[in-house]
């Protein structure tokens, strides 16, 4: 496996259980066309909103090339690419 591939595998293995579940959910969802809702995500994962914010923040640090968070048309949008 080349260096980039190893780095991606290491980054994915560094994800917590919540981060991993959230990442998979983001990859399968369309939060580019459907505005992001932290409260709905917290409810879906049965955690507090702060935990979702922490997990999103961690994802942007741990796998920055695979997740993009941006603001468009008055709403947060999230794009995640599956490994």
User: For 12-43, what is each residue's pLDDT tens digit?
Assistant: 788 999 999 999 999 999 999 999 999 999 99
Q: Which domains does the chain have, with CATH numbers?
A: 3-80 (1.10.10.10)
Angle between helices 49-62 and 38-45 (to 10 degrees): 100
* pLDDT of res. 2: 42
Asked if residue 83 has pLDDT above 80, the reply is: no
* pLDDT of res. 8: 53
Mean pLDDT on 46-61: 97
22 near 56, Cβ under 8 Å?
yes
Alpha helices in the chain (DSSP H): 3-13, 17-28, 38-45, 49-62
How much of the chain exceeds pLDDT 90, in percent?
80
């Amino acid at each position: 496996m080349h260096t980039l591939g190893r780095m991606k595998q290491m980054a994915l293995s560094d994800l917590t259980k919540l981060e991993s579940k959230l990442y998979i959910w983001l990859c399968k969802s369309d939060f580019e066309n459907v505005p992001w809702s932290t409260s709905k995500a917290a409810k879906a994962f049965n955690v507090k909103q702060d935990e979702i914010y922490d997990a999103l923040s961690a994802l942007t640090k741990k796998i920055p090339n695979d997740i993009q968070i941006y603001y468009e048309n008055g709403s947060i949008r999230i794009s995640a690419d599956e490994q």
